[in-house]
Amino acid sequence: MGYQSFPDPYASRNRNINEGFRVGLIGGIVSALMHLLLPLFSGGAVWGELLAWLIQWLLYLLVARSAAQRQYDKQQLQINPLDGVIGAGVGAALITSILTWLFILIRAVVIKATGDFVIVEPISLYCIVVLDVLVALGLGGVGGRSVANKYRL
C-alpha cells in the first residue's frame, strides 16, 4: 500500500503571465532603445524622431501579432482557443505604448536636469499621448484580429 500524495496548498504555483503583457514588455524595451539610439544617430534632427515614430507604429502591429499568435498557441487545445487572442494583441500594443511614453518622459526629465532646455507643452503632450495610445489600440486590434481570422473556421 502506497501513500496517496496530495498537492501542497502552500507550494508556489505556476503563474501564467498573459502573453500580451509579456510581449508588450519586450516591445517596450525595443521601442525605448529605438527612441534612444535613432535621435543619437541623427544628431538630434527631427527626421530621427519621425523615423522612430513610424517604426514604433510598425512595432505595435508586430508585437500585437506576436502576442496573439503566442496566446493562440498556448490555448490551442482548449474548447475555444480564440478566447483572448485579440485582447492579447491589443494588450501588447498598449503596454508597448505606455512603456515608450514613460521612457520619453523620463528622458526629457534627464535632459532637462543636465541643463538643456526642453519644451514640454502640456496640452500638446496630452494630445500626442492620446493619439499614440489610440493608434496602439487600433493596430493592436488589427494585429490580434488578423491572427484570430487565420484560425477561425
pLDDT score recorded for residue 152: 84
Averages of pLDDT over runs of 10 residues in the chain (153 residues) are: 58 68 94 88 78 92 95 87 90 96 86 67 84 95 93 79
Q: Is residue 5 part of a domain?
A: no
pLDDT score recorded for residue 80: 86
Q: Is residue 110 part of a domain?
A: yes
| Burial (CB count <10 Å: 0-12, 13-18, 19+), residue 121 | exposed
Range(s) of the domain holding residue 48? 19-151
Q: Is residue 108 part of a domain?
A: yes
Q: Is residue 80 part of a domain?
A: yes
Reported pTM: 0.82
Tally the domains of the chain: 1
pLDDT score recorded for residue 52: 86
pLDDT score recorded for residue 5: 62
Which H helix or E strand runs over 126?
Answer: helix 122-151
pLDDT score recorded for residue 13: 56
Q: Is residue 50 part of a domain?
A: yes
